[in-house]
Chain A
């Protein structure tokens, strides 16, 4: 088995009396990881602990095989971080500030400026590169933060709420850019967001955090595929018990919504309507209608949180 990109072992972080992360243990093999959770779940704290911006109370963080607590400098060399809050270097133009941050990350000064121009071009700020960042709009500041994360060409990108404040087209462009970085260049991405469609669009794995605890670690397909192929079956009559029993016997998942409505799904794959008709025939019931019972990541997420409560 390959080395995990990120390995957390019993990670706990505390702010005063508040426990922000509580004994989180998880492994991530790479790709694109979505961090989901309600406000205050510990998403940003997790990202900041990986970077060493907040001190872990206990536990171990290993990034690309290196202990982040011991080799923090080496780990940060490989990580690009897009913080949630706006940030820039005061008194410098966008391109100079970005080149400077590149130099801080170890890019030679003669290469930092051309690199800053390239990255600003990539995030769509080529026209505004000589302006001070403080005069940028919200959307432009978001893109500038992506540039800050990319300037030193990291192996892992940590994005904290990257689409906050963006209009729909800006949001789609941002996610498209992140997808291209990941797919075309193999840069691993960790995306913390409360916007579930963002995670759905970019990530292939999801960690759901709640009150500082990791409550679910699952591939996105596992989390939503069953639901995406689910069918809501309307039955004639008011006794669905035989239908449900037959469905369970066939290895399907059956969830009763009412006496005449059952949602049928598979743990993997899509439920074919012909399977539903076969079930109805064997159960001796008549079907009044079949509809897709699509469940989005949002449904899965809310369901996970409800299970916790």
Chain B
């Protein structure tokens, strides 16, 4: 079809003062929400958080002294360490963390991660972006920021919702036990979500395929999760547990919640933090490399 250009209109309107990454952040978030499975998982995570608070409300209504009963039952059963919940304190949030990381954060990471920068690499969108008033750094902030926000929406948001409900319904003196949760959990989840966002995008920028990226992630988590404890058992050295990514997540959250460590079952906090930071920085470098070479940005 030949086109007969009707008219070209010059744009008289003033330009926005929003930072250039804002437009990328916004469209990335909208795109994520438009994806059926990402939307379902996000709603699922939030619904799970709401359901937990509803259960807490129900128990609180039926059995107002449930927190004391729970602690006493725990002590009777001799559960005073590890993952057992014998008191509704910061440790509960460490357990609850896993209910959101594995079923929601990692699947959303795999579903959304391969469509962002990798999608732009495949459709040559980087050329369209970088011929505009935006820097590669701002582009990366926009894409990764929105992705990270999604990952926080399925982890940190429901946890903070539970915490708020917990604080509002608990008797006096309970706040001190969970006071570290908002700050500690925000720091831990923020770092974890950013690491996952960068890592998944870096992997998919090489695989250029959603299925391959998901397979790589599963292999990575399973393999690192198996090798860490195996090496630790063989050598008797607990530091090897830092090879296990899930162990690092847990140790990081544990440390940032200021909860005492079980030195026999967790790698040192500094080591776990180091592993996560190493993954974060190497993923960031890989993405910058891919954007510079494949996007031909000098």
Contact = CB atoms under 8 A, between A and B. Distances in A.
A48 interface: yes
Interface stretch (A1-9, A107-115, A210-218, A290-298): A107-115
A90 B10 contact: no
B98 interface: no
Contacts, number: 146
Contact of A173 (B3, B10, B298): B3
B77 interface: no
Given A51-B131, A90-B115, A100-B23, A176 B124 contact: no
Given A101-B132, A103-B23, A184 B123 contact: no
Contact of A111 (B4, B13, B31): B13
A172 B120 CA distance: 31
Contact of A169 (B2, B5, B31, B128): B2
A52 B127 contact: no
B297 interface: yes
A-side binding surface: helix, strand, loop or mixed?
Answer: helix
B136 to A, nearest CB: 10
Interface in A108-140: 108-109, 111, 115, 118, 121-125, 133-134, 139
B5 A177 contact: yes
Contact of B135 (A73, A107, A118, A148): A73
B209 interface: no
Contact of A153 (B11, B16, B119): B11
B-side binding surface: helix, strand, loop or mixed?
Answer: loop
A169 B135 CA distance: 38
Contacts of A105: 15, 132-133
Interface in B1-44: 1-11, 13-16, 20, 23-24, 26-27, 31, 34
- Which one of A106, A108, A111, A177 has the highest number of Cβ atoms from chain B below 10 Å of its Cβ? A106
A181 interface: yes
Contacts of A92: 27, 31
Size class of the B contact interface (CB-based, 8 Å): 35 or more
B131 A118 contact: no
B122 interface: yes
A87 B130 contact: no
A134 B297 CA distance: 23
Contacts of A88: 123-125, 128
A91 interface: yes
- Which one of B3, B26, B115, B130 has the highest number of Cβ atoms from chain A below 10 Å of its Cβ? B3
Given A101-B132, A104-B23, A177-B3, 16 more contacts: A53-B297, A54-B296, A73-B135, A76-B132, A83-B124, A85-B127, A87-B123, A87-B125, A87-B127, A89-B120, A90-B120, A92-B31, A100-B23, A101-B129, A104-B132, A106-B133
Interface of B: 1-11, 13-16, 20, 23-24, 26-27, 31, 34, 115, 119-120, 122-125, 127-135, 296-298
